[in-house]
Amino acid sequence: MAEPKTESAMESVLRVLLVKSGLPRPEAQAEIRDRYGHLLGRIDLFYREQRLGIEYDGATHRESLAADNRRQNALLGADIELLRFTYGDVVGNPDHVVAIVSAAHRQRSSAGTSRAKGRRAA
């Protein structure tokens, strides 16, 4: 379960929570680039096939809110769903976190399958 790319203990707690709940292991600190190769941002945890990003927002995010918002807007523009969680979420209500991520993972998996079928039919 070790992940050398993780940047905080709580990112690890969140990743382990998701994996122990039965979700696939997400990619840690995934770099997201646009079609020209320009870096849009890094996502704490990422399900690449589903284009589903998960962020742990610790206390340092209070100081970087404007930069975080710009990065989030760029990622949303790249068709990435971004879920954000705090300490209170991960520790205080882990079942709710798992439910939200699981639902988004299922929905994005189904949407990806539908898009792939549509491309094959065309």
| Mean pLDDT of all residues belonging to the chain | 83
Give tens-digit pLDDT for 46-81: 999 999 999 998 866 556 666 777 777 777 777 889
Domain ranges in the chain are 23-121
Residue 86 burial class via C-beta count within 10 angstroms: exposed 0-12, middle 13-18, buried 19 and up: middle
- Give the pLDDT confidence score for residue 4 in this predicted structure: 64
- Give the pLDDT confidence score for residue 1 in this predicted structure: 61
Q: Amino acid identity of 23?
A: L
**Gap between the terminal Cα atoms of the chain:** 42
- Give the pLDDT confidence score for residue 75 in this predicted structure: 79
Low-confidence ranges of the chain (pLDDT < 50): 115-122
Q: Name the fold adopted by 23-121.
A: Endonuclease; Chain A (3.40.960)
